């Protein structure tokens, strides 16, 4: 019996180790490449640990792509706006679906879920025409306003979490003279930290990695996002592999920092554990 458990546990760890190597391999190769010179990237057999290593790829990156700091700042600003806006708008609508009593609540929620099945490519051309006619083209408004008006995915995510919170809390608030706004702002939101943080992370990452939206709606390079900037690096310096790896590292760094710093709340929010 002990031997079977040992074999089972060993097999599990080997499988997890294989998965770790499979997913961490590209990351290690990116880190290795960005520390190499251009000549070292063509050495065969390839070296995982460059000797000597150098940070010249970052120097060339900022010298060649002078707008890189601005692109990073633009992406950070827009992603932060969308993350905060998602929490406010989607949580407010989700609270209505989770707590308000109405015969139209279920049909309206079905309509919200139905919009999840509409591919974004279907609405791309109508949105482009609309934003062009109202003067929003080549601004950040097409990147932020649709997100600030709430997202069906986050409405569903927040609603499912709010449903796990006991309704006895609502009744206690009514007894103390509160109303729906009091329940939302002073009861539901303070108890929903994990899902709110998860929603911010999801929205931030979606916006940070979005490529097609800024590519279509923004023409000026000084207003462009980091995701499009990476493609410009690949187009202008496709032979400089260390510089492309350095750009990829800068694009990945904020996402990695957010995930690792909020990992506890992120996991708790996703599994919707509710109140312990």
Which tens digit of pLDDT belongs to each residue from 203-234? Answer: 898 899 888 888 889 888 888 888 888 887 77
Residue 230 covered by a domain: yes
Mean pLDDT value across residues 33-53: 77
Give the CA diameter of the chain: 75
With bands split at pLDDT 50, 70 and 90, how would you rate the model's confidence at 266?
low
Residue 73 covered by a domain: yes
- Distances from the Cα of 121 to the Cαs of 213, 223, 262, in angstroms? 10, 23, 32
The CATH code of the domain that includes 250 is: 1.10.3720.10
Mean pLDDT value across residues 236-242: 74
Q: Which residue has the tokens 């934003």?
A: 131
Mean pLDDT value across residues 6-30: 80
Query: How deeply is 74 buried, as exposed, middle or buried, from its count of CB atoms within 10 A (0-12, 13-18, 19+)?
Result: buried
Least confident of 13-17, 71-75, 213-217, 237-241: 237-241
Residue 37 covered by a domain: no
Residue 88 covered by a domain: yes
Cα 82 to Cα 38: distance, rounded to the nearest angstrom: 38
Across 156-195, b (16+ Cβ under 10 Å) vs e yields bbbbebbeebeeeebeebeeeebeeeebbeebbbebbebb
Residue 118 covered by a domain: yes
The predicted structure's pLDDT at residue 271: 59
Average pLDDT of every residue of the chain? 82
pTM of the model: 0.83
Residue 152 covered by a domain: yes
Q: What are phi and psi of 275, to 5 degrees?
A: -85, 130
Residue 96 Cα to chain centre, angstroms: 25
Residue 247's domain comprises: 67-271
Ranked by mean pLDDT, which of 24-28, 46-50, 135-139, 229-233 comes out on top? 135-139
Provide the token pair at 198: 């998860």
With bands split at pLDDT 50, 70 and 90, how would you rate the model's confidence at 276?
very low
The structural domain count of the chain equals 1
Least confident of 5-9, 132-136, 179-183, 185-189: 5-9
Residue 19 covered by a domain: no
Mean pLDDT value across residues 73-101: 90
The predicted structure's pLDDT at residue 74: 92
Residue 24 covered by a domain: no
Provide the token pair at 212: 């097609």
pLDDT in tens, 94-133: 998 888 888 888 888 888 888 888 887 788 888 889 988 9
Checking if the pLDDT of 80 tops 50, the result is yes
With bands split at pLDDT 50, 70 and 90, how would you rate the model's confidence at 268?
low
């Amino acid at each position: 019996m002990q031997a079977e458990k040992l074999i089972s546990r060993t097999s599990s760890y080997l499988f997890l180790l294989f998965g770790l190597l499979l997913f961490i391999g590209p990351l290690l190769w990116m880190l290795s490449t960005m520390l190499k010179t251009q000549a070292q990237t063509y050495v065969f057999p390839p070296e995982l640990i460059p000797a000597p290593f150098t940070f010249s790829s970052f120097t060339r990156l900022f010298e060649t792509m002078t707008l890189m700091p601005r692109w990073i700042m633009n992406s950070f600003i827009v992603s932060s706006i969308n993350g905060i806006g998602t929490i406010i708008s989607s949580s407010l609508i989700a609270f209505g679906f989770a707590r308000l009593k109405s015969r139209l609540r279920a049909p309206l929620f079905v309509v919200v879920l139905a919009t999840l099945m509409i591919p974004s490519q279907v609405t791309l051309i109508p949105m482009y025409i609309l934003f062009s006619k109202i003067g929003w083209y080549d601004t950040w408004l097409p990147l932020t306003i649709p997100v600030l008006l709430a997202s069906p995915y986050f409405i569903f995510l927040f609603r499912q979490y709010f449903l796990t919170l006991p309704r006895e809390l609502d009744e206690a608030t009514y007894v103390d003279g509160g109303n729906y706004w009091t329940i939302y702002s002073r009861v539901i939101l303070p108890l929903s930290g994990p899902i709110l943080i998860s929603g911010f992370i999801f929205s931030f990452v979606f916006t940070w990695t979005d490529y097609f939206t800024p590519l279509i709606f923004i023409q000026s390079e000084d207003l462009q996002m980091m995701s499009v900037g990476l493609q410009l690096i690949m187009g202008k310096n496709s032979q400089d592999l260390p510089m492309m790896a350095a750009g990829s590292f800068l694009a990945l760094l904020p996402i990695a920092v957010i995930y690792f710093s909020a990992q506890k709340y992120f996991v708790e929010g996703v599994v919707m554990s509710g109140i312990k």
